[in-house]
Structures are given as C-alpha cells and as structure tokens.
Structure 1
Amino acid sequence: MRIWLLARVHLGPVAVLFVLTLSACLLVAGLPRATQAAYDEALRRALSATPAVQADLTVAVESRSPEEDLHERAQFDSRDRLWREILPGELRPLVTGAGHMSAKTTLTPITGTGGKSYLNLGWLSDGERRVDWVRGRAPGAPATMRYEGKTIPVFEVGIVEEALREMGLGVGQTKMVGEHDYAAVTIVGAYRAKDPGDRYWSHNADLLHVSKIQPPGGLDFEKHITALTSDAGLTVLSGEGRNLTYRWVLPIATGAANALDVPGLRAAVAEFDRVVALQSNGTASPYHVETGLPKVLGDFLAALSTAQTVMYLVLGGLLAVALGVIVLAVQLLADRLDHALTLARARGGSLRQVAGAAAALTGLAVVPGALAGYALSYLVPGPVLPVVHVGPVIVVLAAVGFAAVRLALAHRRPLHERRDDVAAARPSAKRVTLEVLVVVLALVGAYLLRARGLSASAGQDPFLLVVPVALTAAAALITLRCYPYPLRLFVRVAARGRAAVAFLGLTRAARARSASVLPVLILLPALAVSVFAAVISDGIAGTQRLASWQQVGAPIRMISDIEIPATAIEQVRRTPGVAQVVPAQTGRVQVGYGAERAEAIAVDVAQWRSILGDAPVGLPSLPDGALVSPELRGRGTLELGWQSRLKLPTRGVIDSVPGFYATGKFLVVPLSVQIRPAVNTLLIKGDASDATLTELARLVPSATVESQERALLAIRDDPLTGTVRSTLVVVTVALAAYALLAVVLSLVVGAADRARAVSFLRTLGLSHRQAQRLTVLEILPMILFTALAGLGLGLGLPAALGPGVDLSSYAGDLPVGDYSLDLFLPSALTAGLAAVAVLGAYAHTAISRRLSLGAVLRVGDLT
C-alpha cells in the first residue's frame, strides 16, 4: 500500500501522533536525567557538609612499644603508598592525592593538675605550611634533661593562641607531662591557622581549639589541647608509656561522587577496612579504618530511596498516561484507516499487508517523534541512564504494536461487519471474579503496607511500587463497573419526563461502556497521580515551613556567646525594620544540688507568643513557674541553681521549645525570676531582609543572627528537595495536559458514530440545540465520574502508602503527615476536564451541522 499517500490524506492524526510521541519521549528520557543529576549534586553537597573527619578515610594504628614506633617521614610515606595501592576500585576515583599523616598522643596530663589539664603532643606531615607563627618561633629538635633521677626528653612545641588564654600557658614556659613516664614540653611559639575554615582542620581540631570535657558526675571541666612538634620531635616520640596513634588521612573528593555508586561505595569501605586489617602482621595493635562515610552514605541512601520511590510512582504514572494518550491517538488514526483497509481486504489484501500498512503508517509518525524527543532530552543536563534509551523504544513499540494488533483483529475476516448495539454484553463469571480479586488484593496490599512498613532490605521495596498500581487498577475497575448504575437511576427519572433529550443522552452514556474503557484508563491515573503529586508537594511545603519555625523559633533570632549589653539591645530596637524585641537568657542550670544539669531559657512567654503571630509553633502561657520537658515531669517544685537558687513550681510539660530544645532535659522560666538577667538572646519581629540581618550582626558582633525565612530557603535549597518538588510540579502539569488531550481525543475518536446517531435523530425532528445537549449528556457523565474517582484515589494515596513514603528528609527532618485536603488544584482539573468536554461537544455538533445528513448516514455503510 502507498504509505506516503495515506500519510498525506490523514495528515492531521499523523501530526497529532508525532507531537504526542515527541513530548512523551522527551519527558520519559529527560526527567530521569534531570533527577539523577540532582541526586548526584545532593550527594556532593551531603559530603561537603559533612566534617572531613567523618567523610574521609583514615587509616589508624596505635603504637604500644618501641618496636612499633615510626620515627621517620619515609616510614609514613611508604605506608601511605600501600594504603592507596590496596584501595578498592570503587573508591579510587574518590580519593585525591592530597592527604596528610599525623602522630598524636591523647590523655597526656600536665603533671600536678590532678587530671584537669592535658597537653598532648602532635606531629603533622604538613603542619608548617598550614600555620602562621604569631609569637616565638617554630619548634626545633628535642633535647634531654634529668628529672627525678631519670633522663627524660624535652620537646619543643608550638601551641595555638587560644590555648594561651584558655589554659594559662605562655611562650617560654616548660611543663612536665605524664604521671609515670614523664616528659618535658617547652612552648617556643604560638601559631594561628592560615585557613581555619579548611576541611583539613576537621581532622586536627585538637590542635586548633581547646576541648572542654565534663566527666560523668563531675562539676568541673577538663581542658585538652594538642601542641605541634617538629619532624625532629617525631624521632623521640614513642608509644611506650603514652597513648600514641598514627593516622594516614585519604581525603574524599566530593566533586567526583556519583549517587549511582553509593551502594557499591559502602561495600568498598568495608572491603578496604578488611584489607587494611590484613596488613597488621607483626604488630600488637591492628590497623583499622576510621571513617563515618558509611553512615553518611547510608543516611543519603535512605533519603534517596524515598525520592526514588516518589519519582518511580509519578514518572511511572506519567509514562502510563502518555502511552494511553498515544494509544488513543493511534486508535483515532486506525478509525480513519478503517474504510480504506476494509476495501483493501475485500479486494484480496492479506492480513499481513493490512497490519503492516497500519504499523508502517504509525511508525512513520512515531519514529521521527521519538527520535526528536530522544535528541532533545540530551539538552537536559545529567547522566545518561538506561531508561533514556529504553523509554523511547517502549513508546514506539507500544504505538506500532497496538496499531498492528488492533487492525489485524478488526480485519481478520474480509468485509467484517460490526454491530453498534447500544446494549452491552454481560461480563462472564470469570471476568467478574478476576476483577473482584484485583480489588481485594489492592485493598489487602494497602493494609499490609501500612501495617508492616518498608522492607529492611536494600534498594526499592517492590511492595511499595506494586500497591499504587494495584489501587489504580482497582479504582478503574470499580469506576467502569459501577458508574452505569447511578446513571440508570437518572435515566429512570428522565424517562418519566416529556423531554427525550435527557433520556437519550443519559441512556447512551450508561450503555456505551466498551467505547469508554480507554479514556477511563487514561483519565483516572492521570488525575490520581497529578492529585497525589499536588498533595505531596503541599504536604512537603507545609512541613518545611513548620521545620523552619522550629529551627529558629522567631522571625529573627540573635544568640550571643556572651551577655548582650543594654545599649546594644536599644540599638537593635531602633534599627529600621525591627518591630519588636523580646530579650531572653539561655544557659545550663543545675537541677537540685547534685550533678544533674538541664538546658533553660528565661523569657517573657507572653511577648514571645505575640511575635510568633500565626506561626505553626507556639508555647502555652506561663505567668509564673516553669514549663518542663517530659524527662523532668513529675518533679513538683524544681530547685534550680542559675545565678541564684530558684524554687519554681511546674506549670506544664512541653515536648520542645521552638528554636532551642527538642530532646533531653530542658525548661522555660519567666525572665522576671532572674535578679539581674544576663541577656544573651534576642527574639525579634521585623523585616528579615539581608540588609536588616547584616545591620543586626554589625550591632552585636559576638552574636549569630538567623531568620525563619533563611532557614526555610536553606531547607528548600537542598537538591533532593528541589528535585522532588520541581518534578512533582512538572508531572502535575504534564498529566493535566494529557488528561485534557485524552478528553479531546476521545471526542474525536467517537465523532463519526456520534454524528451518525445525531443525524438519525435529526431526521426525526431533533433540533441543533437539542443535539448539543444530547452530546454533552452522553460525554460528561463518564468524565465526571472518572474525575471524581481519580480525585478520591489521589487524595487517598498518601494515606494508603502510609509509612512507605517518608518525606522527612525534604522537610527539615520532620515527618510529613499533614496532607491537608486542599481541593483547589483537583477541583480546577476536574472543572477543566468538564469544560473541555462541554466545549468539545458543542464544537462537534457545530461541525456536524455543516454536513449533509445523507452524507453522514452513508459513512461506513457497506451493505
């Protein structure tokens, strides 16, 4: 057959099929690339935000005897090369060449301090180029001295500036360290880090800051600092009598991370730890790998799994709906070809020729469209996944296969004769049983998913992916089987009236089930997935807002390490854009007279509540007494040590204090209980613009200024969060468009039969206006019932999936459970579909009015 001639004759359906195929292939190939690119960016951000001491791979070993000591840099270098040689292949792209090595002692007390001050010794392979000496000089070679009848080493060390002030040390001092195996430490210089924000210092924070540790049951803090010694000092640093640990740091290159490699990376880290341990022959202490990378990857994988689940659901629904619309367009083309293929079959054409002609003409439309969509998908940044290649192939095969099979079945006998009976055949008992089984299994699956939660195994839980599909199929079956029954009630009511239009229109709508199956199978999942996406997106947005308020606790929060002067508070009050300032004092208080401690905030709760306004967080009123956490409940009157001894009755129990405390022991007290409040926190209501926040930070340099708006932006700025929400929006819009196209195509597909029926009735006296009403009554009921079913399924899916979709990773780590029933978007979609159906009906009758009744009645009449 002449395919090009058929394409020119049926150019309209061919063009529609081309455009639909192009859009479907662009979506199915482009969206996965965009989402995967966002997953990769999210992993890189997660690794960058994680302290290097947790993200990097660190090989460590303890030296417990002189035989295990390393005194030369070459010994460290040889082991560094060994660790890089035995790295598993999955880790090699992530490990950069810029690492460093260290030797440090721990828990080295300063003699005579009773275990209150510790001065550890540390050597860094690149320490000299990481610091600037601000006082004294760099440490040199060690010496010896006699102490208590023994010769002990004297280490020259440098110490960070902060330790001079915090621990009462000074350049030129010599301190004895140890309790049994003594050593002398001479402080010859003080240094400052060249770049304190460098990730390098995450591994060596003990050389940059004084650590304060409160031992269990103790009231005083221990102070720890590590001093920097030279390469010469390494030659006499020994693990005999000291807690000495050697480390080789292999930094992770966050920019090379790939989300697809995460499962393999976790296994590779475990394998690296195993292989490193095998190198411990001849040592009393085994080599081991210190890293938090598996936990970081595990947390990311949990968040990624949820994102992928949501993406699979919505993208799978989008693909199904797109295929349904394409199939509907193929059906339109097949109907246009029916007359020509019937003649060809009657004149001796084989079934293979008929099916081949249909497949060739369909392929002529869909193959260029698929290639164009596939090519355009490469404009979307992101890695090329298998679905990018497979998706367009599935679309083409589905379209061509449907065209060939449908026309082969329709023309399996020459001069086939079709009956257009309005009465539908009763379904068989087997079919009814199968449909009931599908509905029951879907409901049982939804119940089991809520009852058991997700599978603990790695990867996607197939149960979670099957249940939504089963629920959609069940809803479609129920809609197809049940929608005629309420219509028949309306038919009975209409039969009692004198007007025939309502009776005829509703009767045709109630009986035309076989012709309406495909539109239902398209409209119902389209509406269900789009409503589900809209509900999920709204739930995430609401929980993100709640999380931002819980993180900050006020429109603007200012927290200082020291007391904020009264003059500075007044300047803050007079700052343009500031409407109200609530002072507060935070601190750690003594509960009772023992070692029990709790976090506390003293504030005027009434003023705090006034600046919160309509925020989704709040506190109960507190005229006096204290609000306590659940761990402090049942104490009655609390005795607190905070500036002075306080006795406060318990006035309520709160689970959290917005912006401050969420776990542990904490309490809220009125600011008036303090004799002289030492205000270190300001809760501010006003303009949260960057200019205002910058001015507030300038007025109180010791304070950290945060705003609820910035916290919300930070939550939304996460790549995974942005990807989930943007994909939901794109899918919602695409599905709405496909739903509208399905309505239009269903109108066009049934246009010939509808025109024939209307023409028969017009010969009996049916007016043009009555014909319009008749067409609307025939089309609108199925669309409305399907829209309502899709609306109900979309609103019910979040609750049905239950714990299977944990979206807390995208909402500030708060569980997303408040799926409010905002019916604006679903109602708009339903109204849009109904409007398109009505307009299509009117347009159809307007076009039919121009045709001759005789011409219409002869269309398709072969006998």
Structure 2
Amino acid sequence: MSGPEPTPRQQGGGTGPGRASRPGGGTRRTRPWFGLAVREARGDVPLLVCLALLVAVLTGLSALVPTLVAARQDTALRQRIATAQQAAPLITLGAAVVPPAFGTNDPSQLLTTGLAVAGPRLAADAAPALARSLHYSRSEVDYVFGQLTDGPAAPDPQIASSVGAFSYVSDGPSHVRMVAGAYPAAATRSRAPTPFAVSQATARLLGLRVGQPVSVFYASDDGVATTRMVLSGIYLPRLTGDSFWNDHAALDRPQRYPLQTSGQDQVSFHALIGADGPLHLADDGVPLPTLSWQLRVTPDRAAVAQAAQLPHALAGYGNALRRGQCQIADGDIDVGTAAEPSCFAGDWPVLAFTWTDGLSPVLDSFGLERRQADAVQSFALASVGSVLLATVFVAVRLLLRRREAQLRLQRARGASAAGLVLLRSVVATPLVALAAAAGWVVGERLGETGTSGSPQPLWAFGSAAAAWLLLPLLTWGAVREPAPRRRRPRRGRGGRGAGFGAGASFGRREVLEGTALLLAVAGVVSLRQRGAAPTQGVDLSMSAVPVLVAVVGVLLLLRVYPLLLRLLAARARRGRGVLAFVGLARAGRDATATGLAMFVLVLTLGTAVFGGMVARTVADGVTTGAAWSTGGDAVVTSGGNPVPTALPASSPVRAVGEQSRSLTLTADRDGTTLSGAVLITVDAARLAVAEPGSPLARALLSKASSAPLKRQDGSVEIPVLAGAALLAREPSGDLTAAAFTNTDRTHRVRLRPTAPLGTAPLQDPALGPLTSTLPPGTPLLVADIAAERFLAPQAAGGSAVLLYGHGSAALRSAGSTALGALAEVRLRADVLAAARNDGLVSELRRIYALSTVLTVGFGLLAVALELVLTARERGRTSSYLRTLGLGSRQAAALQLLQLLPFACAAAVGGVLLGVAEPRLLGPALNLRQFTGGPAQPALHTDYRLTAALGLGLALLVLGAAVLETLVSRWRRLGAVLRLGEI
C-alpha cells in the first residue's frame, strides 16, 4: 500500500522556496511562489481532495443540521399545541356583566352579537408575538344555577329536586343533533317563556318532554327572581373532533348528589338557550351572567422561535386587555374595585377581564423536553466533529509522510522551516476556502428556510479553521529542528543513566493522561450532580464529557493493550512457528503509533453503540409509556364519578373499572388534617383476570381484599394500600378518619392502611390513566372497588374503564357503552403511534442515525488512511521475511495477525464505551421526557447494531490484510529488497 519513493528530480532542490544555488555563490530566483505551490500540489492531489471533502462536510453540516433540527422541533411544538387544544381551550377570557340591564328591541344589538364582535378585538389586544397566533373560536354567556320549582316529577322517587345552569354557546347548534323538538329560537322579542334545550339523558332523568313549561327560581344577595322557561328541544351530542364536548361535558351529563338533610338526591344539569335568551332572562331580573371567549392558538411555522417570545407576551396580556378594552393606563385605577364600569365587551359594560392561561404549561413542558433533546444530541454532534477532525489529522499526517524525504532534502539544502510551513499553507489555503464555501452553499440549499433555526457561520468558520490549522502545525512539527537532548547526571553507581529526554517524555505522557482522567472524572461528577440540561441549545458539558471519557478509555487501552500483546508474544515465542510471534510482537510495537486510529475507532463505535442504545431505549420506553397512558389495550375516561355501564356478556372486550376522588383525611391519634389526598378504587378481581401478572391486583387481593367493616360507632372501615408520601406524613398509620359522609348518610368512612403501596403496584399500568395527571408527591390511597358504595360521588373526581380486547372498533364501541358517547377513548395503538411520530422523538432518532452513518463512514476513512500511513512498517517486516522464504499464504496470515489485535482492542473499547457512557451520565441523560411512564426507562443495548458494527470492523481489517498481501505479491524481488533496506 506504500507508493514508490520520489526520485531526486521529483524531490527538487534549492536552498529554499523559490530559490536555487548558482556556481558563483548566492542565489537566484527560479520561479515565483505560485509556481512552487502548483508544483508542490501536483503529487498531493488525492490527499488534498480528501482534505477539501472533509472541510466541505464540516461546513455543510454547520449550515444544514441547525435548520433540520429546528424544523422538526417546530413541527413537534405545533403538534403539542394542536393536541392540547383538542382536550381543552388554551386561552379563555372571562368578564362579568354589570348593571344596568341590557334589554333592547333591536336584534342586531343582542349581547351575543356583541360577543362575536368583541372576540377578535380581544385577541388583537395581545402583544404582536401572541396576537398573530390567537384566533377567536367561540363565546358564551353563562348563568348561575337556578332551582326548578314547578317542573314535572322525576321518574325516580329518590330525586327530590333539580337545579339547572343555562348557557348560550355561539357554536352550540353545530355540536348537537336534535332528536326531539328544535334548537332554541333566536332573535325573538316576545314575552313568551324563554326556550331552552337539554340532553336526552337529562330529559329522561327529570321526566321532561318537548313543550314542557318550568319555572326557575334564583336567589342572590340582591333579592330573588323567578323566570318562566319552556323546553324547546332535546339533543344528543354531535362529535366533530374538536374540544367542544371535552369542555362542555356537563351539557350532556346530569349529576346526582345526596342531600344530607333529607336523605334524597338532587340533580344538577346544564342546558342551552338561544341568542336572545339573555334578553328574556334580564327582563325577569335573573342575576347577571358571566361572559367568556375561547381563543384558539395557531403558532407560526417558526413555532419554537415564536414560543421564546410568548412568556413575556402572556405575562403582559392582562395589562394589554386593560389598555385596549378598559381605556385606562397601567396603574391608574384598580378596575376590579372601580365603582363605575370601566371595561367594555363590544358595547356592553363589564367588570375587569379575567383570563386563564393553558398555553404556558404546554410551552414549559415542551421546553423541558427540547432542552433534554438538545443535550442528548450534543454528544452525537460532538462525536461527528471529533471524528472528522481526527480524519483530517490523519490525512495531513499521510500527506506529510509522503513528502517526508523531500522535506528533509529541502531542509538540508537550506530551506527554512517557516518557509516550508508557509509554502504548505499557500498550497492548502485556496482549496480549503473553496471547499468551505462550497460546503456552506450546499448545506444552505439542502436546509429548510423559515424555521426557528438558522445556519451557524461561527461553527463553520471554526471547524474549517481548525482543519486548516492542522496542516501548518503538523508541518512545523515535521520540519523544525529537534531540540538537543540533555543527559541526566547519574545518581551514583548502579544508577539508571536514562537520558533526560526519555524521562521527560515519559513524564509528559503521565501528566497528559492524569489531566485527561481528572477532567473526565470532574465532568462526569458535574453532569450527574447537575442533572438535566439547564439551558437550550448545544450543551457544552454533554458535548465534551463523553469525548473526554472516550479519550480516557483510549489512553487506558494504550496502557493495557501493548502489555497483553507482549505477554501473548512471549507465549508464542516458545512455540514452533514464527508467524504468531512476529505478528504479535510487531502489533505490540506499533500499538502506541496507532493511538489516533484507536481513538477514532473507539469513539466511532462508542457513538454508534450509544446512539443505538438511546434509540432502542426510547423505542421500548415509548411502548411502556403508551401502556401507562392507557392501562390496557384501551381506556375510556370521564370526569366525575359516574357508575360505568356493564358490558354485555357476549362482548369480546373485558372491562376493569376504577375511580378516583380527592379527600381530606384526619388522623385519629392527634386530629392532624391531611388535605389533597387521592383515593383510587380498582376492580381488583377483574384486573387479575384481565392481567394475571398485575402487581396491583396481586397486592389488593392479598392485602386489601377484605370487605368494608361496619364498626360499633356506626362508621365503615375500608382497608386500603397507602402510598409512601402518605405514610411519611403519618408514620404511625393512624390516618383512618375521612372528613366526608358516605351515601347512606348514617356514619363516616374510615380508611385503614393495611400495607404500603410498593413500587411495583404503584408503577402498574392499571393506575396510569388516573395517576399520570396527579402532581408529584400526591398522597395516594388505593382500595378495592367494593368501597365505592360507601363513598359520595364527586364532580371533581375521575372515572376510567380499562378495556382489554382486539379491534379498534370493538374497543371504541365498548368504551362508549361503558361511560357514554362523550367519554374519551384512547387506544394503546393510537397513543403509541402518536408517540413514535412525535417531532422530538423522531428528531432524536434521525440525529443519531445521521451521526452513526457519518462517524462510521469517516471513522473507517480515518482508519484506512492510518493503515496506509503505517503500511510501510508492516511492509518492511514482510519484506525481511519474504527474502527468507516466507510464502504468500504465510504473508497474508502475518498481515492479518498485525491488524487483528488492533481491531479487537478497538471493538472491545468502543462497545464498552457505548455501554458505559449512558450509565456514567446518570440523571443528565433523562430519556423519560420522550417516553412518559412512571419511571426512567431501562437502558437497552441494540445488539443487532453492535454486531453489525463489529462485522464491519472485521471486514475492514480483513480487506486491509488482503489488499496489503496483494500489493506485496505484485512487488518484484528488487522492490522487496529495497523496502527491507529502508
């Protein structure tokens, strides 16, 4: 693999660049610098092209990668906002109407018409960064609950009374399907009763029919009022795919609550009125309503860049509303306590505007995930840059090795070291500049425009400058005069007498190794203590620390690897054959010289294994997170504590019900009140059948399966599993008194912890649908479903039914049967597909796939160049043995023996590095941000990728051995003898 030696004519002469000696003394200029540069470059075209290619890749990646990464992050943020808005509106404005009453005879001046006009104005009041993304969606007029006084008797005698809340919703007609009667008419100005519409469930529960008149009684601090109303229609929900029924589920579902005084139940329901309904109710003196507007958020294409400006815009939105709609400046008066109304919704006077911000939590959550994604990607990008620069280093070394004889001759004839360095720089500078410019242009063309990211010229300039600087620095090291070695004085008789230079060299190596080790240890400790990335963008710590760990690993290999080779060579020396001894001895002698190639291979393999582990861990963790989100094959959830409808016996789907409610506990021992606790009841028997290996079902059936016990004081004692946070606040466990009354109204419920809620039951996917939304550290209790008949329902609670079966249609149908048509049904397959297609997750996979391809490709190029660089030494050994009669097959075996130990050491080091680094980084590598689930996902190595990389390395070594053998066969005996003499 080594080329022929340059002839004296090719080596050239002269005492320096551009000068030649003449017989009479002195020098004369023979050709200009440009000619010398062209002459110098002729023999190095392949390596100079290789150098230009590497520089072009470095600058191209600096222009391309930031825009591609930003485009994926923009898409991911838009996906998150769209998904959040399907569940609930992100921006809701509210205001209360103030006296005087707002009756009018002009239908065009209806309050509801003014709301539609005011909506876009309210959106436009925001700061420009926010206003361009806000769009008016719907408006509402909501009244407080009123008592139905003369309605029909409810079919269930247990129902004693009912209260109703009436609302006008601007897009209500498009979200209901009338099954009887008609939607409340609009723009009528008669003294007839106000028309309203209710859901079919409400009509059945209260015994209402179309045309039924009712009276609604209101009591307030200002007095009492009664209004006449008539049922104009009965509707069923029309599912349109937006967030309407998530936000207005009460319009379909009436709620029953126990009356503690009479022992009967009261029904609360919500109903719809028409556009002129507020005029009728105002004429009857009904308490004034509250107004609300829902605004839809549609971010720009550069969503991430826009999101960086939104926190300030959201924080100032309240003041912007005051300036725009209240006609007052900040700090003039407090509109919340003003005696006269100062704000207007359209033309209607209102109190100060209030608003809810559901956008900031979405942005904060995405920001955490984005920071972690940037940190995890930093190592991949740093590895690519390191391998590329190492490849440039090897290419420059090979270029200088090819010109080594010529450089020695030029120095011998009087050329200065600075002049030779300048000449080499003149040769490379135009090529590097052109390659850098070409790479930048191509990277810009391939990148996406209009995203939150932009090409990074500083990175491009820095990487190109670093690659260019390697040529003059290595040239200077090759042509400068070595410093004279000073001898160390002997320490006396029997002293070692080693030269000062050797001792100094050994000391410098130890200092460098110790410094690298200390830096790596300090970086690892700092990352583990710091945790997740604190800032966005490239994480310098995550970029540098893994590379430092790789350097330390290579240094350790270079210490251990030659010792093992010497031991093996000593063992082989006692054998009969000479090939094993010669090959191992030569490999051990060249171990230090191949340190750079070892670093490239170890870093390449380590990065690929690391990337494969990240991709595999995220893929497996997403599966676990989807199971945690749905509990079973699907889950249907609903607000409140409705009793699920049992599925038919013929249904192929199995259902497991569970409910959650907030409660306040009182400790028996000292009366301490513990608020904010959550009790979850689970059908343990059905869960054990559906999931035989469920830790939660096993714990409940073994520790809390006994039926509730009635005590002598009249209370009911329910066995529960208590979470660690609850037991930590009350270590004695005497927190059994509950502060609410059960459904038979005769006694209190007492909760008795029978066992702690261990880690395995707590992380059981069956609890995921209800506990995933709880704040961290929430005191948690879990009981069997048998406790439900002793617990009062809560509108603020939650219900879930876990579904186990096959077929999306069957699962959705079973979910609608269990908790109604408005309940949210989530299929595990859908959740898993959405998680896998998430912008941040797919971006992480792409970055590591790209980095793996680039590091492997250029790493192999660097190793190939290094093999070419060291081919002369291996060829010299082979030439000696061939002159002694070594056969062709034996020569091939010798070539393989010289390369095989190096490849094995690099493979072992790279795999160990890739496996160890994620565990060394610890909490700094927080992949749970991308997977969900109850805990950090377990790290999983991608063994197929690791095996493929090992196979590729074996093929590289085998190919190099075969190629060198073929080259040695083509050499004639004279060439072999000349090579052996060098």
TM range, normalised to the smaller chain?
0.7 to 0.9
1:464 positional shift: 4.4
Alignment match, 1:562: 645
Counterparts in 2 of 1:158-169, with a 5 A limit? Answer: 158-159=197-198, 163-169=202-208
Q: Distance in 2 between matches of 1:669 and 1:141?
A: 51
Q: Distance in 1 between matches of 2:537 and 2:834?
A: 28
Q: Distance in 2 between matches of 1:481 and 1:305?
A: 38
2:395 to 315, 329, 348: 329
Q: Distance in 1 between matches of 2:646 and 2:811?
A: 15
> Structure 2 counterpart of 1:95, which letter?
L
1:364 positional shift: 3.1
1:295 positional shift: 0.4
2:297 to 246, 252, 269: 252
Alignment match, 1:626: 705
Alignment match, 2:216: 176
Distance 1:738 1:474, change over 3 A: same
Counterparts in 2 of 1:64-83, with a 5 A limit? Answer: 66=100, 72=111, 80=119, 83=122
Matched, 1:809 2:929: yes
2:846 to 726, 734, 737: 726
> Structure 1 counterpart of 2:74, which letter?
D
Counterparts in 2 of 1:705-744, with a 5 A limit? Answer: 708-744=828-864
Matched, 1:295 2:361: yes
Distance 1:406 1:463, change over 3 A: closer
1:48 positional shift: 0.8
1:261-292 CA deviation, whole Å, 9 max, x = no partner?
33322232112234335657444354333121
> Structure 2 counterpart of 1:783, which letter?
A
Distance 1:617 1:651, change over 3 A: closer
1:243 positional shift: 6.8
Q: Distance in 1 between matches of 2:614 and 2:577?
A: 46
> Structure 1 counterpart of 2:647, which letter?
I
Alignment match, 2:762: 655
Q: Distance in 1 between matches of 2:655 and 2:176?
A: 39
Report if the CA contact (8 A) 1:546-1:616 is conserved. no
Report if the CA contact (8 A) 2:59-2:460 is conserved. yes
Matched, 1:266 2:333: no
1:128 positional shift: 6.5
Counterparts in 2 of 1:48-197, with a 5 A limit? Answer: 48-51=82-85, 56-63=90-97, 66=100, 72=111, 80=119, 83-96=122-135, 98-110=136-148, 117-124=162-169, 135-136=181-182, 137-141=184-188, 155-159=194-198, 163-172=202-211, 173-180=213-220, 181-187=224-230, 189-190=232-233, 196-197=239-240
1:252 positional shift: 0.9
Q: Distance in 2 between matches of 1:694 and 1:681?
A: 16
Matched, 1:305 2:371: yes
Counterparts in 2 of 1:784-795, with a 5 A limit? Answer: 784-795=904-915
1:532 positional shift: 1.1
Secondary structure of 2:722's counterpart equals helix
TM-score, length of structure 2 as denominator length: 0.70
1:179 positional shift: 1.9
> Structure 1 counterpart of 2:953, which letter?
L
Alignment match, 1:575: none
Counterparts in 2 of 1:172-571, with a 5 A limit? Answer: 172=211, 173-180=213-220, 181-187=224-230, 189-190=232-233, 196-197=239-240, 199=242, 201=244, 205=248, 208-210=251-253, 212=255, 223-231=268-276, 233-234=278-279, 237=282, 242=287, 244-254=289-299, 256=301, 258-276=303-321, 279=326, 281=333, 282-284=335-337, 286-340=352-406, 351-352=418-419, 354-357=421-424, 360-361=427-428, 364=431, 367-368=434-435, 371=438, 374-375=441-442, 378-379=445-446, 381=448, 383=451, 385-387=453-455, 389-412=457-480, 427=505, 429=507, 432-454=510-532, 463-496=541-574, 500-512=578-590, 515-552=593-630, 562-566=645-649, 568-569=650-651
- Between stretches 488-497 and 783-792, larger displacement belongs to 488-497
Matched, 1:45 2:70: no
1:7 positional shift: 5.7
1:426-464 CA deviation, whole Å, 9 max, x = no partner?
635455335313313422432343345336677776544
> Structure 2 counterpart of 1:34, which letter?
L
> Structure 1 counterpart of 2:962, which letter?
Y
> Structure 1 counterpart of 2:217, which letter?
V
1:798 positional shift: 1.5
1:618 positional shift: 8.6
1:755-797 CA deviation, whole Å, 9 max, x = no partner?
3454355446655555444444443333332332222221111
Secondary structure of 1:328's counterpart equals helix
Q: Distance in 2 between matches of 1:558 and 1:247?
A: 29
1:229 positional shift: 4.0
Instruction: Provide the identity percentage.
Output: 24
Report if the CA contact (8 A) 1:108-1:242 is conserved. no
Distance 1:860 1:164, change over 3 A: farther
1:300 positional shift: 1.1
1:684 positional shift: 5.2
1:845 positional shift: 3.3
Distance 1:527 1:373, change over 3 A: farther
Report if the CA contact (8 A) 2:891-2:965 is conserved. yes
1:521 positional shift: 2.8
Q: Distance in 1 between matches of 2:875 and 2:582?
A: 14
1:155-203 CA deviation, whole Å, 9 max, x = no partner?
5545555543455444442322312432415235337599643646269
Distance 1:343 1:475, change over 3 A: same
Secondary structure of 1:702's counterpart equals helix
Distance 1:465 1:176, change over 3 A: same
> Structure 2 counterpart of 1:297, which letter?
L
> Structure 2 counterpart of 1:190, which letter?
G
Q: What runs of 5+ residues in structure 2 fail to find an aligned partner?
A: 1-34, 104-108, 152-158, 338-350, 485-498, 638-642, 667-677, 707-718, 728-732, 737-741, 772-779, 790-799, 819-823
Q: Distance in 1 between matches of 2:431 and 2:660?
A: 79
Matched, 1:839 2:970: no
Report if the CA contact (8 A) 2:63-2:454 is conserved. no
Distance 1:354 1:191, change over 3 A: farther
Report if the CA contact (8 A) 1:625-1:648 is conserved. no
Structure whose alpha-carbon radius of gyration is higher: 2
Report if the CA contact (8 A) 2:148-2:214 is conserved. no
1:219-257 CA deviation, whole Å, 9 max, x = no partner?
967524153342573597499984743334332114646
Secondary structure of 1:251's counterpart equals strand
Report if the CA contact (8 A) 2:378-2:539 is conserved. no
> Structure 2 counterpart of 1:731, which letter?
S
Q: Distance in 2 between matches of 1:765 and 1:778?
A: 19
Q: What runs of 5+ residues in structure 1 fail to find an aligned partner?
A: 146-153, 573-580, 674-679
Report if the CA contact (8 A) 1:276-1:288 is conserved. no
Distance 1:162 1:695, change over 3 A: closer
> Structure 1 counterpart of 2:272, which letter?
A
TM-score, length of structure 1 as denominator length: 0.78
1:600 to 656, 679, 682: 682
1:841 positional shift: 2.7
Q: Distance in 2 between matches of 1:274 and 1:8?
A: 71
Q: Distance in 1 between matches of 2:827 and 2:559?
A: 55
The total of aligned residue pairs comes to 816
Report if the CA contact (8 A) 2:202-2:269 is conserved. no
Secondary structure of 2:316's counterpart equals helix
Q: Distance in 2 between matches of 1:239 and 1:783?
A: 91
> Structure 1 counterpart of 2:69, which letter?
T
- Between stretches 30-39 and 214-223, larger displacement belongs to 214-223
Secondary structure of 2:308's counterpart equals helix
- Between stretches 821-830 and 699-708, larger displacement belongs to 699-708
Q: Distance in 2 between matches of 1:535 and 1:88?
A: 44
